[in-house]
Structure 1
Amino acid sequence: MTIAAELVDDPRLAGLMAKEAWRRARRRLRTSPSLLWLVHRRASESDRLMAVPRQIERGDRAVAEAIYGGRFELAGHVALMGATTPFRVSEAPEGWQAELASFEWLRHLAEVEDALASANARAHVGDFYALRRRRRAPVAMRPDIIARRLMALFTHAPLVLAQAEPAFTRRFLERLAGEARLLRRMAPEVTDGLPRLQVRIALAYATLCLPGASAMIRTAGANLAAELDRQIFADGGHACRNPDAIALLLKQLLPLRQLYSARNLAVPRGLFSAIDRMLPALRFFLHADGSQAMFNGAGLVSRSLLAGLLRFDETLGDPVGHMRQSGYQRLAQGGAVLIADAGLAPVATMSGEAHAGTLAFEFSSGRQRFVVNCGPSPRDEWRRLARATAAHSTVTVGDRSSSRFPRSERLGRFLGGPLVAGPTRVPATRQDGREGQHLTLAHDGYRAGFGLIHERELLLSPDGMLLEGADRLHKAAGRGVRAGEAEGALRFHLHPDVVAEQAGKGIRLAGGGEVWWFFADAPVSLEDSIVFSCPDAPRPTAQIVARFEPGRAEINWRFERQH
């Protein structure tokens, strides 16, 4: 379908496109060549930073050695450098170029802490800023990438400037000040959601690290506090519903809190409150093995970062069972943990990374994840596939997703890949009692196309040895399609470390020193699957599939731990 035809077919898309085009036009006006002289004004004569942020995420010495050798592995892509600077590589995927331009990989060189690492970091920073703006990858000048670059360079300034010539130090500080001024001009027209919030965080960094008037510090703090109040829910989740966003923001906000203390300034109340809400939310999404549940783009944050952030959490007790505003449920009994997506999709402007995984769940026991979602893909060509309902442990109907993406890929890229239609209601009821934790969920994402409501019932026993469930397809009121007439499939994607085999009427699952059995009252099979967000590369795995045969509107199933 052409873009024009799709816009006529869906007026909501036309409205989103008009708003996005107008936002981009305003940003171009703010950064037009006639105004860029403001960005290139000479910085303060100060030859030092006023404060340096604390590094939260540790690096990897092996990665540093690879960078020495010209090997840059970023966003699932490897590029080998010869004598050419990596910033002149044009054929690499956009995700690779974005990670390169963010300079967050400097943490690996910082882990080595020697003269070679410092010289290498300084050479790469010099190469990047030696390129004229129009010669850089377009993604390098995206506001959120500039924000990440500023925060990384402030954090790793001691590495970059160790034994540097005074002239390099002056140029480096001038470049940082110039990018901060450019970002300040861009800020009002930045894409809503994480990009806008990261820009506000970076500007707060800049006012605290660079010489400047105290009024600028107050303004930056107030703007950031207002944005945090707007985007961080009362339960600590982010409005985009991506659990990774919590860790990524805490990685930036915790050093910012330290910067205020280093400058003997009061921490803005909005910043202090947001951190206090987000730390418990971080624990909500963790399985017992320390990994994070993969929902709505989550799955790319390292366990080491998660463990480092949790050291700042001084709250006691178990995680809450329900994140009401974020729309997630957690069942935990006897060492077993189930986390379910029980919420509506985020607003379109913040749904660029959201997945069509309503009612999907992940399940772990002990130190092993058994049922997972496929997670996000860092590679552009697999991104849409990873976001589909079929890549999640839930029910698909008619081989379609429960939330819809723009059918035109060009339009989707222009708008940032939003979800444009999906469930309008996701009711949930929960009972915790002596029989265990009982959860009933439903969504109407298949009502428009098939006239069906998907209902999922879950019961986790008190000892965590049994997970019982039922998935039903009900006829929606006033619709003509009957449950059982549309083809449906119930999928449970398995973690790659789980060994699965069919045995008699069940499926035997072994992993982490435990054995679980899966049974259902419908024919089941083991089929191929893939987990996209593994640390090194996507890994093949298996999925349990049970199909809604003609006339069947309900499948009852259970996972049972072998004694």
Structure 2
Amino acid sequence: MVAITVAERARLSALIGRRAFRSLLGRVNAHPLLRWRFGSTKTDRLVIAPQDLRTADATRAAEIYSGRFAFAGKVVICDRRSPFEMTPPSDEWAVVLLSFAWLRHLRAADSAITRANARALIDDWINQQGGWHPVGWRLDILSRRVICWLSQAPFVLQDADPRFYRRFIRSLSRQVRYLRRTLKETRDGLPRLQAIIALNYAALCIQGQSGGLRGHARRLIDELRMQILPDGGHISRNPGALIELLADLLPLRQLFSARNLQPPQALNNAIDRMMPMLRFFRHPDGNFGQFNGMGPTPVDLLATVLAYDDTRGAPLSYAPHSAFHRIDANNTVMLMDTGRPPPVGVSQEAHAGCLSFELSWKQQRLVINCGLPAVNKENWRQVARQTAAHSTGTLNDKSSCRFLESGTARKLLSGTPIVAGPRDVRSERDENAEGTLLRASHDGYVDDFGIVHTRTIRLSQDGRLLDGEDSFAPPDGRALSVNVGDEYAVRFHLHPAVKANRLSDGRGVILLLPDKEVWTFATMAESVQLEESVYLAGTDGPRRTVQIVIYGHARSEPTVRWSFRHTPPAPSGGRIERADEPELPL
């Protein structure tokens, strides 16, 4: 395992201590004798509502009206009972239900029946859990519910009687006050930023909350500066965080303008930096690269968010602060992770995928990382986070990062953070007439095995040839200790739509794409294996696929070369000839 330095252990201990203190405060705030603080004797007034950019499906309204709640891959049929009385079939199902994200589907149908249904369900929740509930008042769920109630308020309150209006606003105000007082208990990273966004929504939309706008805007500015990196990436290094944040930040900017207020400059700057990164992480087929917890790409939401991008320029080639590279060469796109793990406090979903890459040709992805599914994430998360689930090299079947093992600490930190991993990750890039050369290395295996993993990749200018070299050697020319294992595996996970067949000599693989285009994988190693793999980030759930694996030993063969070459279509009636193995000038 990767060793934890004294500094890393100190940071982890401090983080656990802060989370333990915040957890204690949360239990105190939830005590029945103290919940009265979050009530209000007056009824605030709703003055404006934010736009909801997320896609809605009107056909879902009929299901909800009939008592069939299908969320997160699970279905609960209430049979005239309240959905808030039912035992949740999964935590993910409960999150969707209690966040009220499904209100947008009712709004899409927009009829007197769906409005009455929405009001009845909201009223039911207020009766069942409006005082407090251990899950329903969890801060990440609470933040999302505040945003959803505000966004759908015009629909919900249309034709509503005065009693429901007062009840709705009073409950909403109570939730906002609770969120404001417990904000420091939110998890670092995306959950905290979403909670601050919810408070800014409320301050702009609810007249009685407007007094806190200055303080909430200041917190928003501070959090954006901490979480949105100078190149526009998110501190968690999860590309999906950008889509989720922009779907909330764009309406927030509109709210400031609609209230005749100047949006904070930090908000405008963050949006302007994040927009180009959406194009950076996007493959030609519209899907994002599978890095650090990215699941299925919400293509519809991504298209909606990108419609707000005024520049619409070419993607960046290098994101130095997020530590990702992108190479565009004609019809080929390659994305590569060349960064360290994110800070411990925001690494609960980060992956041990340093030096992994993804490769696409036209509208088809060839080489991928396994990603994460949309549902049942926790069943797959630890498998998906391992280095072996990425298109990179592993040493002695170990990950390049170490994940927290203590159950008590994981509970306090609301997940399993990375507590140790590569500290020295270097990359250099050279672009010339022949193509783009990228060389990167990481020291994630130095402490335990005394080996640095170095990867060199060159993509030709026409995008038809990707030459690669992986090296596993001690740093500074030192000798490899005889007391440690030296077996490495270089993996290339293939997209499920790609059909792979080994060549007879055992050193290559023919890759057939859905459009009948052909690529050939070749290696200088003794043999190449085709093994089972799984693509977790499919829109229809996990799918079986295969991976190309090269095994070797760092003592006898520290360097392995490989290539992906596009084979031009054969003439009509002709046969495809195998291309000669290229010489790798690396």
Q: Report if TM-score (shorter chain) is over 0.5.
A: yes
Partner of 1:153: 149
Give the whole-Å Cα distance in 1 for the aligned partners of 2:513 and 2:64. Answer: 35
- What one-letter code is carried by the residue in structure 2 that aligns with 1:509? L
Partner of 1:278: 274
> If the length of structure 2 is used for normalisation, what is the TM-score?
0.89
- What one-letter code is carried by the residue in structure 2 that aligns with 1:293? G
Taking the TM superposition and a 5 Å limit, the aligned residue runs for 1:233-272 are: 233-272=229-268
Matched, 1:562 2:567: yes
Helix, strand or coil for the counterpart of 2:33?
helix
What CA RMSD, in Å, does the superposition of the two structures yield over aligned residues?
Answer: 2.2
Q: State the identity %.
A: 42
Q: Deviations over 1:293-344 (max 9, x none)?
A: 1100112441111111110111143111111111111111102111111111
Matched, 1:55 2:52: yes
Partner of 1:363: 359
Matched, 1:507 2:505: no
Helix, strand or coil for the counterpart of 1:212?
helix
CA deviation after TM superposition for structure 1 residue 419, in Å: 0.3
Give the whole-Å Cα distance in 1 for the aligned partners of 2:479 and 2:406. Answer: 28
Give the whole-Å Cα distance in 1 for the aligned partners of 2:232 and 2:187. Answer: 21
Structure 1 pair 544–236 and aligned structure 2 pair: CA distance change class (3 A)? same
Structure with higher Rg: it is 2
Taking the TM superposition and a 5 Å limit, the aligned residue runs for 1:280-299 are: 280-299=276-295
Structure 1 pair 39–488 and aligned structure 2 pair: CA distance change class (3 A)? same
Give the whole-Å Cα distance in 2 for the aligned partners of 1:516 and 1:204. Answer: 51
Matched, 1:227 2:227: no
Partner of 2:547: 543
Helix, strand or coil for the counterpart of 2:444?
coil
Give the whole-Å Cα distance in 2 for the aligned partners of 1:474 and 1:156. Answer: 58
Partner of 1:131: 128
Give the whole-Å Cα distance in 1 for the aligned partners of 2:209 and 2:136. Answer: 28
CA deviation after TM superposition for structure 1 residue 17, in Å: 2.5
Partner of 2:581: none
**2:102 paired residue among 101, 105, 110:** 105
Bigger shift: 415-424 or 21-30? 21-30
**1:381 paired residue among 379, 382, 406:** 379
CA deviation after TM superposition for structure 1 residue 119, in Å: 2.7
Helix, strand or coil for the counterpart of 1:53?
coil
Contact 1:484 1:548 in 2 (8 A): no
Bigger shift: 226-235 or 123-132? 123-132
Partner of 2:368: 372
Bigger shift: 486-495 or 434-443? 486-495
Partner of 2:491: 491
Structure 1 pair 300–106 and aligned structure 2 pair: CA distance change class (3 A)? farther
Matched, 1:519 2:522: yes
Partner of 2:299: 303
- What one-letter code is carried by the residue in structure 2 that aligns with 1:165? D
**1:401 paired residue among 399, 416, 421:** 399
Taking the TM superposition and a 5 Å limit, the aligned residue runs for 1:321-332 are: 321-332=317-328
Partner of 1:4: none
Give the whole-Å Cα distance in 2 for the aligned partners of 1:209 and 1:45. Answer: 10
Structure 1 pair 488–54 and aligned structure 2 pair: CA distance change class (3 A)? same
Equivalent residue pairs, number: 553
Give the whole-Å Cα distance in 2 for the aligned partners of 1:100 and 1:22. Answer: 29
- What one-letter code is carried by the residue in structure 2 that aligns with 1:396? T
Contact 1:296 1:353 in 2 (8 A): yes
Partner of 1:3: none
Helix, strand or coil for the counterpart of 1:468?
strand
Matched, 1:530 2:534: yes
Q: Deviations over 1:112-135 (max 9, x none)?
A: 222333233223222222113687
Bigger shift: 483-492 or 266-275? 483-492
Helix, strand or coil for the counterpart of 1:259?
helix
Partner of 2:71: 74
Structure 1 pair 146–435 and aligned structure 2 pair: CA distance change class (3 A)? same
Helix, strand or coil for the counterpart of 2:424?
coil
**1:390 paired residue among 388, 391, 404:** 388
Structure 1 pair 150–443 and aligned structure 2 pair: CA distance change class (3 A)? same
Structure 1 pair 267–330 and aligned structure 2 pair: CA distance change class (3 A)? same
**2:315 paired residue among 314, 319, 326:** 319
Contact 2:535 2:544 in 1 (8 A): yes
Give the whole-Å Cα distance in 2 for the aligned partners of 1:516 and 1:344. Answer: 32
Structure 1 pair 519–63 and aligned structure 2 pair: CA distance change class (3 A)? farther
Where does structure 1 lack aligned partners over 5 or more consecutive residues? 1-6
**1:177 paired residue among 173, 178, 182:** 173
Contact 1:154 1:209 in 2 (8 A): yes
Bigger shift: 280-289 or 475-484? 475-484
CA deviation after TM superposition for structure 1 residue 489, in Å: 1.0
Give the whole-Å Cα distance in 2 for the aligned partners of 1:239 and 1:560. Answer: 35
CA deviation after TM superposition for structure 1 residue 518, in Å: 1.0
Structure 1 pair 19–253 and aligned structure 2 pair: CA distance change class (3 A)? same
Give the whole-Å Cα distance in 1 for the aligned partners of 2:213 and 2:272. Answer: 22
CA deviation after TM superposition for structure 1 residue 89, in Å: 3.0
Where does structure 2 lack aligned partners over 5 or more consecutive residues? 1-5, 569-586
Structure 1 pair 353–444 and aligned structure 2 pair: CA distance change class (3 A)? same
Structure 1 pair 70–358 and aligned structure 2 pair: CA distance change class (3 A)? farther
Give the whole-Å Cα distance in 1 for the aligned partners of 2:292 and 2:219. Answer: 27
Helix, strand or coil for the counterpart of 1:526?
strand
Bigger shift: 125-134 or 386-395? 125-134
